[in-house]
């Protein structure tokens, strides 16, 4: 891993972005950070040995904006490992998370950081859109302005990773588990809530999550397997309680997933019809 030069400045927010072969979409993700109306941030991109132009794109933005920093990994660590390396090289009081194929609303940080400060929160998240690869909205995950308990988070994951802000000063050891591929972010949020952290959601739409065929979150069998590992091995719930939580997770998430897949397929059919009409 290459060293990062630091100027000793400690920004309010460190934006954590893992990236692997993300050249097609990372430009939009980085630009959405650069367009934030809240400007006291650094963006730490951990390039996980990409074979495409991902690193070159990040380096170009780095030359344009000194708040952007690149962590060039020597070995492929996966999403969780890349996030952890970015966190290790971060300097902000708060951590915010954005994957390389998602994007933020321009006022995302301006909404959340004052709430974090005013209410002394450990973790804050909010509403977000779900879109297809072309950026067309499929649905919206809507949150209310309210406190969220550890028990609630065992049954569902209301905190979309792209919307989360964590107080890093309060939780300096936060890391993402590499034992699971789907839900490694929830494991981190649960560790905060389990230890008495104050978790709150806001109602504003904070960004757009890109649903992509072949992505980890698209595979619900893998998601169910990893949720079981999370409940039993990481959270160490008794078997009966874990089954109860898993059933609640399926009841909450499966209808949303089926609706999103149906809308995604509809959009793809529309693309196919458009291509045939112009072909």
Separation between Cα atoms, residue 134 and residue 137, nearest integer Å: 9
For the question of whether the overall pTM of this predicted structure is more than 0.85, the answer is: yes
Domains in the chain: boundaries? 13-216
The 10s digit of each residue's pLDDT in 224-252 is 999 999 999 999 999 999 999 999 999 98
Q: Tokens representing 248? A: 């609640």
Burial category of 139 from C-beta neighbours within 10 Å (exposed 0-12, middle 13-18, buried 19 and up): middle
Separation between Cα atoms, residue 81 and residue 71, nearest integer Å: 12
Q: Which of 158, 162, 127, 136 is nearest to 29 (CA)?
A: 162
Separation between Cα atoms, residue 96 and residue 78, nearest integer Å: 19
Which parts of the chain register pLDDT below 50? 1-7, 274, 276
Superfamily of domain 13-216: Spore Coat Polysaccharide Biosynthesis Protein SpsA; Chain A (3.90.550.10)
Q: Which residues of 57-69 are buried (b: 16+ CB within 10 A; e: fewer)?
A: bbbebbeeeebbb
User: What is the pLDDT at residue 272?
Assistant: 55
The 10s digit of each residue's pLDDT in 103-152 is 999 999 999 999 999 999 999 999 999 998 888 989 888 899 999 999 99
Separation between Cα atoms, residue 108 and residue 125, nearest integer Å: 10
Separation between Cα atoms, residue 167 and residue 94, nearest integer Å: 5
């Amino acid at each position: 891993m290459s060293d990062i030069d630091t100027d000793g400045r400690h920004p309010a927010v460190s934006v954590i972005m893992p990236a692997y072969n993300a050249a097609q979409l990372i430009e939009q993700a980085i630009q959405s950070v650069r367009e934030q109306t809240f400007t006291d941030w650094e963006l730490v991109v951990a390039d996980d040995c990409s074979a495409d132009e991902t690193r070159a794109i990040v380096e170009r933005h780095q030359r344009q904006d000194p708040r952007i920093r690149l962590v060039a990994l020597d070995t492929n660590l996966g999403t969780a490992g890349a996030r952890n390396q970015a966190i290790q090289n971060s300097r902000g009081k708060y951590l915010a998370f954005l994957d390389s194929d998602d994007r933020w609303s321009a006022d995302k940080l301006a909404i959340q950081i004052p709430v974090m400060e005013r209410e002394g929160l450990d973790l804050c998240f909010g509403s977000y859109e779900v879109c297809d690869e072309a950026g067309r909205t499929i649905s919206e995950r809507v949150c209310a302005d309210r406190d969220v308990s550890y028990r609630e988070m065992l049954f569902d994951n209301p905190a979309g990773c792209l919307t989360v802000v964590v107080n890093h000063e309060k939780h300096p050891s936060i890391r993402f588990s590499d034992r699971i591929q789907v839900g490694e972010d929830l494991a981190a949020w649960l560790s905060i809530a389990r230890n008495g952290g104050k978790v709150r959601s806001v109602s504003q739409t904070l960004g757009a999550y890109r649903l992509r065929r072949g992505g980890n979150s698209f595979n619900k069998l893998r998601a169910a397997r990893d949720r079981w590992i999370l409940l039993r091995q990481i959270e160490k719930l008794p078997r009966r309680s874990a089954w109860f939580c898993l059933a609640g997770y399926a009841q909450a998430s499966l209808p949303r997933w089926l609706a999103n897949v149906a809308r995604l397929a509809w959009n793809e059919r529309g693309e196919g019809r458009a291509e045939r009409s112009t072909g």
